[in-house]
Structure formats: structure tokens, C-alpha cells
A and B are shown apart, each in its own frame.
Chain A
């Protein structure tokens, strides 16, 4: 089975720009979640998608949005980038029941 893959691995943006990060979930999984990991900290939950609908959200403003597609791939969109958005963004997929999540390698975003 394939794992969780994310793209791009690294990117640099300037303040005020918009960014789209992409994720391909592990085969057989029907949920996808996104986490933000600032330098030196643990990951923080942004939101989760199930059946193409957002069904849970953490403490992040509306400029963080997402999409889940029928093939369970997903996008994270961040508008009006701020310097504090610089972080590693992790995508995770799961199939419910076990509560276990499988993480991708992440996309490292630098906002200048």
C-alpha cells in the first residue's frame, strides 16, 4: 500500500500571499487531517475532512481552508500569509475506528 504523500516539500512565500499544499492519502483511508508544526513545538490540529466535508476544526482562523476530493486527496489553502504561518504542515490520513493516523513527510513553508 502507498503511504501519505505531500507536495511541495519546501516553499517560500512572502507575507500577504496565498499558498496551496497538497496531500494524497494512504490507500483505504477515508479521513484526512492537517496539522501545523511550528519550530520546536508539537503539531497542532488544523482540521479534518471526511466524505469531502470538514467535520472538525482546531483553533485556526478562516483564512485556513481545505478541500477533500473523491479520491481522498486533499488540499490546504492559506490566504493572507503571515510571518507566524512559517511552519511544517503535516497531512495525516486514517480510517476511523482505531484512532490511528498516518502522517506524510510534511511541507515546510517559510513566509518572508
Chain B
């Protein structure tokens, strides 16, 4: 079974500062990894995904993440944040190719990013 741990429940940061949101996962098989963002009272929007290939993945809004298989991590980074980045961020894992045909995402508990002026 897979699991996801987001190591920080809240991350406060000043505008234009860099930020890293940490995510670790556990799985006995190869996985797909995702980061989603959720703005207040909205659904989930995909930021980026890792399926295979290059371990550095670039997404929307200037975010990127690095897949580290040996450390089972998939940390999200942004070099300079904006006030508009204030939101809840969710890391998710899927073992879709091995799951028997259905795509079940396992989500972490979320990290609240609060960007201050």
C-alpha cells in the first residue's frame, strides 16, 4: 500500500522569497507522483506530475519538483513566491500501472502555504 507524508502542515514565507514544500512517500512498486494546489473554496488544480524520465519536473506558475527515488521524496519548490501563491498544496501518489486497472490517488494531509507581504 502507498502512503504520503507532507512534512509541514503550514509554511509561512515572505513575498519574493524561495519556498520548498516537502513530500515523502512509501510504495513497494514504481509510482506516479503529483502536486495539486487548492485555493479557498475551490477544487484541485494540477501543478505538475512525475511519470518517468527526468527527475526534475517543471509545472505551472513557476513551480518545480524533484523526484528522488533513493529518499522516496518529491519536494516542491519555487524560487520566488507571490501573494497569489497562498493556498493549500497536496502531494499525491498513484500506483496506476500496478493497481489492477484503476487510478487511485493517495493524498497527503496538505501544506498550507501563507505568503506575507
Residues on A close to B: CB < 8 A? 4, 6, 31, 33, 35, 40-45, 48, 50, 55-56, 58, 90, 92, 94, 96, 98-106
Contact = CB atoms under 8 A, between A and B. Distances in A.
5 contacts: A43-B105, A48-B103, A100-B49, A103-B43, A106-B43
B44 A56 contact: no
A99 B107 contact: no
B107 A44 contact: yes
B46 A100 contact: yes
A55 B32 CA distance: 19
A101 B97 CA distance: 14
Nearest to B112: A40
Contacts, number: 70
A104 B42 CA distance: 8
B23 to A, nearest CB: 11
B103 A99 contact: yes
A101 B103 CA distance: 9
B43 A99 contact: no
A3 B108 CA distance: 24
What are the 9 tightest A-B residue pairs by CB atom distance, in nearest-first order?
Answer: A56-B102, A42-B107, A99-B96, A103-B44, A99-B32, A105-B43, A103-B43, A48-B102, A45-B104
